[in-house]
Chains A and B, each alone.
Chain A
Amino acid sequence: MGVEQGGSSPLGPGGAPSLKGPGKHLLKPYLGTWRIILPGTPGVLPSVCLTLPPHQEVSSDGAPGAYPSKNKRTHLPTVWELESGAGVGRSFRGERKGGPWTFEERPGVKVVSAGKHCVLCGIVNKSEVYKDVLSEFVPLYQDFENFYTRNLYMRIRDSWNRPICSVPGAKFDILERVSYDYNWTFKYTGRIVNDVINMGSYNYLGFAENSGVCADAAAEITLKYGVGVCSTRREIGNLDKHEELEKLAAKFLGVDAAMAFGMGFATNSMNIPALVGKGCLILSDELNHASLVLGARLSGATIRVFKHNNMQSLEKLLKDAIVHGQPRTHRPWKKILILVEGIYSMEGSIVHLPDIVSLKKKYKAYLYLDEAHSIGALGPTGRGVVEYFGLDPRDVDIMMGTFTKSFGAAGGYIGGTKELVDYLRTHSHSAVYATSMSPPVVEQIIASMKCIMGEDGTTLGQERVQQLAENTRYFRRKLQEMGFIIYGNDDSPVVPMMLYMPAKIGAFGREMLKRNIGVVVVGFPATPIIESRARFCVSAAHTKEMLDTALNVINEVGDLLQLKYSRHRLVPLLDRPFDETTYEENED
């Protein structure tokens, strides 16, 4: 295909970034400073990229293998374990569900060297590829805004946007691409890397398939309806299929009524403004997804942020809000809406829903629960985080979720009381202004949802839900045994593994792909800059062999890149019961 991404004026060989030139002078003072601050750290530079993109040469003294040696870890501050949400989280301890929320404190030296990585990367690369032709205009975006892009992201961006050319199932095929100019542009070699194990897609229940019941149903509808709708729900784009989906979704969720929208992101950003407005208060978790944040902003309501999954912080905000009312005027708030997610996509943590429900009842607030990652993936029958905690779906005022992940389709839904859904049907921005969902996509959701509910007369859906739960526990347990720091809840299929250092993002992504595993790596701005991480998404479609292969490779790469930060080694399972969670210190 030969598609060339990016650069209008590709960087010539002369412009290749290196440590020579003006950068060299800048480097010394920085190095000196760091040495003074950190007398204990190794004098060699941590290499910016341990593994370089194909055809890239190692430049001057950024030699690989210059990582701090292993014995340096004895200098680390004591690593301890925290229960997320301290006191409140404790109420879940010892319960069958919930499990321990483990958040291991990051080792201090790693933080510092993570910061150092940023500084070094910044000095190395000063090349300009993108030029604005309208030079007399005010610049379209600031150089400062670009600092991160040019200096960090560009060096490791081959770990993202990898194009695939197959179903995003348990294994996928990746188009091979190379860069001759340090990732400023990519060239496709025309070769395909086959059968890469997919640990990155949100294919929790394995419904990303090109054959089988769901795909057949979608194929039939494609031929019958076509793929577009060319109108909005409010005008003349309300198909019988949409109505069918909404009835089924309401039944699945256990609510009175539901409404479906064409895009998960827009479900949040275009419906929150319909529910709250000026004079209302939104209490939002600090790690909420961008779509929730945007929706909250567009609504015009006052937004206050509470600490991630921290019930004390939420309760304090609720209490203050009701006692003090609106700022300055002290009028009482019209409504208070709590925005939370079921599973947080970057942390893997499950929301403390029982506590939130009791707080919401106590303070008469409304609860908006975004189940983008949890619907289908949690609970004994895949009904999401509400079922996981054994709660009544009616306790949650607005049940929101997406069809992108567990259902292998696209779009989002909102479920709740009949009044709520009727109101949204006339006031949702999406229903009035946006084109309705594509019929084959709707059919895929209907077919997969029926499968999960067992309405197709089989137990295949139920088996997928169970398989996912087993795979999740197995995969998380194994990673912990290997000594990685894993965030999140034991039952969460989103498994973030800490890398900390930005340079390890690129290294990990590349080393894993080299060994035929596709992983997602995340750094700034999705996470704090010193908390870079890799994220695995476990799927019901993964077989035990695939998981074992992936785990072996992670183990190998983890040793290579020294990612086993954890000081708490789980004793490998022998014949002990599966859910035993005794932590024992392992002396190395």
Chain B
Amino acid sequence: MASGQQWVLVEMVQAFYEAPAYHLILEGILILWIIRLLFSKTYKLQDSSDLTEKEIEEIIEEWQPEPLVPRMSKEKPAPSYNIVSGPPCHKITVNGKQCINFASFNFLGLLDNDRVKNQALQSLRKYGVGTCGPRGFYGTFDVHLELEDRLAKFMRTEEAIIYSYGFATIASAIPAYSKRGDIVFVDEAACFSIQKGLQASRSHIKYFRHNDMEDLERILKQQELEDQKNPRKARVTRRFIVVEGLYMNTGAICPLPELVKLKYKYKVRIFLEESLSFGVLGQHGRGVTEHFGVNIDDIDLISANMENSLASVGGFCCGRSFVIDHQRLSGQGYCFSASLPPMLASAAIEALNIMEEDQDIFRLLRDKCKLIHKELQGISGLKVVGESISPAFHLQLEQSSGSRESDVRILNRIVEYCMDRKIALTQAHYLEKEEKFLPPPSIRVVVTVEQTEEELEMAANLIKEAAQNILQ
């Protein structure tokens, strides 16, 4: 056998020597041709143009780009911002009018707390204002580590990580884990920063109806069926459910216990955005997990900003170290951005101290929410959207006047009516073209612990009055 093969080889070599030159050349060309076919591109990305220089110049000359920004029409000038002079706390001066603030997310009234201010000042006197660097390059201050430690302890998780911008927190956290090809199940009412995070992740996104667990289970089952068809792919496809604790756009609380059941049933991880519920829900203000008595370890990642209850700037994520630590190299907003100014971190630490010392504050806030919620029921033409214990809820028109634009105008008149009478309100603003599921226009009312019962009643009465005057 072996000798036979050897003989064939010898014969082949001999045949090679004996073959005429033209034959070898032909074979050679054929082999080269095959190699070329194998390695050449099947198509050209840009077919080489047979245009002459002059023609190219003409095309370049002719091309007119659109203006960088669309020209503003004369009749519809850009809406201007409200100007707040002085601090944006309980008593606020908007466009020169002194009002009681029902618009800023200063739930616990920590914005003008003297202890917080003094702590920030001390920090300023020690560290200056800016950090002049990202966390990796000497932008990590001892106060950052302290704040991370305190947040982790407060939330009773293993680890926390802070970001220098609230919006960037969840928007960086999602793409740190969810990559191209992964699947994310998202509530339709998810806020804009979640939407941007999802977009940056380039994952496959599946929306379920707002707070509708049956709908979520339906698409989870659908996914399960698909997975059975292609188990190899399913083994490497990460799945996530992204929900908010207390929805910014609807004021509703997510049904967390059901979500946790679904998590273990379908092996999907849960990311929870708690910007509104952190420092609001639960006996100690730990958010929606405490509210439902759900074990915090069942949630894979909790993200919240420090710009609402804590009245500082920035955001944080917390969870198990295995999860959170990954962001220290993969969270874009963490790695590539300057770190949080230390004075803002110090302010957040002091705010946490106050939250830990005074647990009554959360009960007080809930009582006030319930009060104004009750007062606002039964206004003809306006409906209250949101949970009764939610400190931020929406007033929507019961019946649309026909177009979004006119609805916005009507609501704006209500806001102005109240603003003229010492209650500062604001509409919930959205980028209408950018939102995936644009919420209906609404006035967002924010309750804080600083508002007295009289003020809450006054606001409720005023809104009633405004609705009567404007809607009838």
Interface residues of A (CB under 8 A from B): 1, 3, 5-8, 130-134, 136-141, 149, 153, 160-169, 172, 175, 198, 200-203, 207-211, 214-215, 218-219, 222-240, 243, 262-266, 269-270, 273, 275, 289-291, 294, 297-298, 319-320, 322-324, 332-336, 362-366, 397-398, 402-405, 407-410, 419-420, 422-427, 429-430, 432-435, 437-441, 444, 518, 520
- B138, A265: Cβ atoms under 8 Å? no
Tell me the minimal C-beta distance from A321 to chain B in angstroms: 9
When the two chains form their complex, are residues B79 and A215 in contact, meaning their CB atoms are under 8 A apart?
Answer: no
Contacts of B429 on A, CB cut-off 8 Å? Answer: 232, 234-235, 432
B219-278 residues at the A interface, CB under 8 angstroms: 235-239, 267, 269
Does B25 have its Cβ within 8 Å of any Cβ on chain A? no
Chain B nearest CB from A492 CB (Å) reads: 17
How many Å lie between the Cα of A273 and that of B49 in the bound state? Answer: 32
A297 to chain B, nearest CB (A): 7
B98 within 8 A of partner (CB): no
What is the distance, in angstroms, from A278's C-beta to the closest C-beta of chain B? 12
Q: Is the CB of A238 within 8 A of B81?
A: yes
List the A side residues contacting B63 at CB < 8 Å.
322, 332, 364
Contacting residues of chain B (94-125) with chain A, CB-CB under 8 angstroms: 94, 101, 103-106, 110-113, 116-117, 120-121, 124-125
B87 close to A (CB within 8 Å):
yes
Bound CA span A168–B129, Å = 10
With a cutoff of 8 Å between Cβ atoms, the chain A residues found around residue B325 in the complex are 6, 130
User: Which residues in A have their C-beta under 8 angstroms from that of B125?
Assistant: 210-211, 215, 219
User: 25 A-B residue contacts at CB 8 Å?
Assistant: A1-B145, A130-B322, A149-B329, A168-B131, A168-B132, A168-B139, A175-B142, A201-B137, A222-B117, A222-B120, A225-B87, A227-B343, A231-B103, A235-B82, A235-B428, A235-B429, A236-B426, A320-B46, A397-B68, A405-B132, A410-B341, A420-B69, A433-B191, A439-B87, A444-B129
Q: How far is the CA of A358 from the CA of B338 in the complex (A)?
A: 33
Q: How far is the CB of B49 from chain A (nearest CB, A)?
A: 6
Q: Does B417 contact A (CB under 8 A)?
A: no
**Given A262-B165, A298-B200, A322-B63 in contact, is the A236-B88 Cβ separation under 8 Å?**
yes
- On whether the beta carbons of B336 and A265 are closer than 8 Å, the reply is yes
Cα distance, A223 to B114, chains bound together (Å): 8
Q: Given the complex, which residues of A lie within 8 Å of B332, measured CB to CB?
A: 265, 290-291, 294
Chain B residues whose CB sits within 8 angstroms of the CB of A333 once the complex forms: 65
Which residues on the B side are within 8 Å of A7 (C-beta)?
321
Residues of B in contact, count (CB < 8 Å): 122
Closest A residue to B338 by beta carbon equals A404
Check if A441 sits within 8 Å of B129, measured CB to CB.
yes
Q: Does B434 contact A429, Cβ atoms closer than 8 Å?
A: yes
Let me know if A231 and B124 touch, CB within 8 A: no
In whole angstroms, how far apart are the Cα atoms of A1 and B141 in the complex? 13
Bound Cα distance A84, B313 (Å): 41
Looking at the complex, which one of A237, A398, A409, A423 makes contact with B341 (CB distance below 8 Å)? Answer: A409
Of chain A, the residue at the smallest CB distance from B85 is: A240
A202-B133, A366-B65 are known; give 9 further A-B pairs, CB within 8 A: A208-B132, A235-B444, A263-B164, A265-B338, A323-B51, A335-B66, A364-B65, A422-B78, A520-B138
C-alpha spacing A30/B320, complex, angstroms: 37
**Which one of B128, B140, B329 has the greatest number of beta carbons of chain A within 10 Å?**
B128
User: Which 4 pairs show the lowest CB-CB distances between chains A and B?
Assistant: A263-B165, A423-B69, A265-B337, A434-B167
Chain A residues whose CB sits within 8 angstroms of the CB of B434 once the complex forms: 273, 429
Point out the residues of chain B lying under 8 angstroms from A410, CB to CB.
129-131, 164, 338, 340-341
Asked if B126 contacts A130 (CB within 8 A), the reply is: no
Cβ distance A166 to chain B, nearest Cβ, rounded Å: 7
Specify which of B56, B86, B139, B335 is in contact with A319 (CB 8 Å cutoff): B56
Given A140-B238, A419-B72, A409 and B130 contact (CB-CB distance below 8 Å): yes
Closest chain B CB from A92 CB (angstroms): 25
A419 CB, min distance to chain B CBs, angstroms: 6
- Tell yes or no: B365 within 8 A of A by CB: no
Output the nearest chain A residue to B105 by Cβ-Cβ distance. Answer: A230
CB proximity to A under 8 Å, residues B410-464: 424, 426-431, 434, 444
The reply to whether B267 and A518 form a contact with Cβ atoms under 8 Å apart is no
- Which B residues are in CB contact (< 8 Å) with A161? 135-136, 140, 328
* Complex contact B166–A435 (CB within 8 A): yes
Query: Within B313-367, which residues are at the interface with A (CB < 8 Å)?
Result: 313, 320-323, 325-326, 328-330, 332-333, 335-338, 340-341, 343-344, 347
Partner among B83, B117, B145, B238 whose Cβ is within 8 Å of the Cβ of A138 = B238
- Segment of B13-21, B34-42, B209-217, B303-311 engaged in the interface with chain A: B303-311
Given B106, B127, B132, which contacts A230 in the complex, CB threshold below 8 Å? B106
B138 and A200 form a contact (CB under 8 A): yes
Q: Contact check: which of B56, B59, B128, B168 meets A215 at CB < 8 Å?
A: B128
A373 to chain B, nearest CB (A): 12
Question: CA separation between A69 and B155, bound complex, in Å?
Answer: 55
Q: What are the residues of chain A within 8 A of B344 when measuring CB–CB?
A: 227, 438, 441
B321 near A130 with CB under 8 A, answer: yes
CB <8 Å contact, B267 and A136: yes
| A407 proximity list for chain B (CB < 8 A) | 130
Say yes or no: A230 contacts B311, CB within 8 Å.
yes
Give Cα distance in the complex from A133 to B323, angstroms. Answer: 10
Give chain B residues whose Cβ lies under 8 Å from the Cβ of A162: 138, 140
Known A130-B321, A222-B121, A430-B167: A164·B140 in contact at CB below 8 Å: yes
CB of A10, distance to nearest CB on chain B (Å): 11
- Which residues of B have CB within 8 Å of A439? 87
Closest chain A CB from B69 CB (angstroms): 4
Which of A130, A202, A211 is B132 in contact with, Cβ under 8 Å?
A202
